[in-house]
Amino acid sequence: MAEELAKLRTKFVSKVSKEIVNQLLDNLLEDKVINSGERESIIEEHQTTADKARQTIDTVIKKGNKASNRLIHHLQNCDPTLHEDLCKSCIYTVKNATQESQVLQEFSSTLIKSKETFWKEKQNNKDIYPVTLNSSKNRVALLITNITFADKMKNRAGAEKDEENMEKLLTDLGYEVVKYRDLTAKQMDKGLVQFSNHSKLKETDSVFVVIMSHGKLGVVLGVNFKKDPSPGEEPDELPINNIYKHLNAKNCPELVNKPKIIVIQACRGEDGGSVIVCDSVDDESAMEEDIEEDKVQRIHKEKDFIALLSSTPDTVSYRHKLEGSFLMKFTIEVFNTFAHIYDVEELFRKVMGRFEDSSHPFRQMPTKDRCTLTRKFYLYPGLNHMS
């Protein structure tokens, strides 16, 4: 692998960006491929990006095949376009490198913190949502977990573990967690309304909304849900659209231009997952009145959202009776291990990738839904503890 990497040296040096070089150095340091002295030497003793890139690849090549594999693996994650351009002539080698990296991958049981330098490097990048020391200290999240239902056959054994683990992850990421358990649909809706008026929203850089319950396509079930309600009885179902409605630009202006991250662990049907289809989204904006004043800024009311749903439409989700749901388990593993270097959308993609593991027995595939993020959002774990 070191020999193959050497063949890519010239193109790597000429095309890699300063940001990617710095990110690769951080990754290689965390993998213990290089030490802190080598990293600082490359950064401080070489002025141009090309010189930094040249010294980085030369240092790694000298360390052999395993180190070279790690560089290729990190380049693939940091800059997939450059990786594909560099490695299209050595597909077999890259495949081997990817396989080895998968074998070597171990998921962290605790949240890895971002480096302050990583945060500072991204402060003036207009393609990244801004995060300041103040905004990171005003983060807030909503966590709703339905465990005990009126129909005891619907009780969700293992959901306590999901609640505990997700609360810890959100807290470690710097979010104040507003937590509810065992709510009806009306109570969930009320909780969303109250959350949309939280005092911290003006100063925060983002919010999480995590809801765990039973569900059907387009709705989350309340704890009093009945399969066959009495005539005239309102079904105990929360439309997922209500989440977007309460937090959108019209009803929650404090969150305009701020990422709103939604995670829902709930079935979306009863099928086993053999067919993937797409939800339809009604365009309500066409119903709004025209705005005549030029001075009024018009903004799409459902902007800066991203959701991760536990399964594709019409299919079931799975939960272990002791360890909790697979979605929450994989989400926490991925965020603990990668949130310090990857943006939220990439983290969700990695969670989805966990379900492709051949050892996983269920035909469940999480779905990114209604993503209207216009920039990348990095969580920078540990930032709220920096000076």
Strand partners, 139: 175
Catalytic residue among 87, 246, 267, 340: 267
Catalytic residue among 214, 246, 252, 340: 214
- Decide: 315 and 268 in contact? Cβ < 8 Å: yes
- Decide: 129 and 205 in contact? Cβ < 8 Å: yes
- Decide: 321 and 147 in contact? Cβ < 8 Å: no
Residue 37: φ, ψ to 5°: -65, -40
* Rounded distance between C-alpha atoms, residue 50 and residue 15, angstroms: 8
For residue 175, CA distances in Å to 104, 160, 201, 380 come to: 31, 20, 12, 12
Residue 141: φ, ψ to 5°: -135, 150
Residues 6+ apart with CB under 8 A from 193: 246
CA dihedral sign of residues 177, 179, 185, 191:
negative
> What's the gap between Cα 306 and its chain centre?
9
* Overall size of the chain counted in residues: 387
Q: Is 267 a catalytic residue?
A: yes
Got the DSSP string for 69-116? HHHHHHHHHH-HHHHHHHHTT-HHHHHHHHHHHHHH----SSPPPPPH
Q: Which amino acid is at 107?
A: F
Catalytic residues: 214, 267
